[in-house]
Structure 1
Amino acid sequence: MTIEYELATPAEVDIEEVARVYAESGLGDRRPVDDTPRFTAMVRGCNLLVLAREQGRAVGVARCLTDDSYVTYVSDLAVSKSHQHLGIGRRLLDEIERHTPGVKIVLLAAPEAQDYYPKVGFTPHHSAWVRSPTDPWQRP
């Protein structure tokens, strides 16, 4: 198995392909993959997108926001279940670090992934706060 990693252009990436990886990873259960306008806006709105491909087919996605100087926020890290436990998630994180050298990486872990992140060099931060929207999302 040969996995290739690429920096993708959010404005040009195939949204259906990215949504498929989210669905195959299980992350699609917590992201609006069935709301095409919202999912499209979500992907197009990131400024760092790394894909993992096997024989041209996407099997992993890292969607991020970065200021390229202080912090990169990993909004999503998704690997198709058929390709999990093969080091693809770790390599996607390494690719993020390679494209933003010297920049801190921050993320919120899904409950079932909390044991994964310490294995790939993350430390917990117990003062994260989340404020959920009070209004439904509307396309700007």
Structure 2
Amino acid sequence: MTSTSSAPRGDDEVAVALLADLGTFPGATRADLAAIVAAGYVVSVPQGWSLIWDRTPADKAYVILDGTVEVRRDDEVVATLTAGQVIGEVAILRRQLRSATVTATTQLTVLHFGRETVERLYAEVPAVRDALVASAEAHS
């Protein structure tokens, strides 16, 4: 079972500092990072839980804050992703169905964004746009 909450203000500062340390959004200002964190939800995910399923609509994306996931296509592990990496952005940007299943291989903490939020941040925050384009290219 997942636990979802809108992070309190103190936790927002912790998440902003973590994103800055992880380097997920190169070139982002502190204000950009604060806007990114405020737009999302911190979610705890247990080991073994799938966040994204192959051939389903692209309705969310995540930034891994802590933990590890594996990406599978046709039951074959094609990637292992860790803290600082973005998942779920490719299908949102391309307006396609998901092309892989993503499962937590450890206890996981992520910053969760709905599709509309991803699209808004992409349009409004250049550092988000640059990071998502680079991430989508790396995941293709």
Which structure shows the bigger proportion of residues in strand conformation?
2
User: Which one has a bigger Cα radius of gyration?
Assistant: 1
Settle same-fold status: TM greater than 0.5.
no
Higher RCO by CA contacts (8 Å cutoff, separation 6 or greater): 2
Structure with the higher helix share, 1 or 2: 2
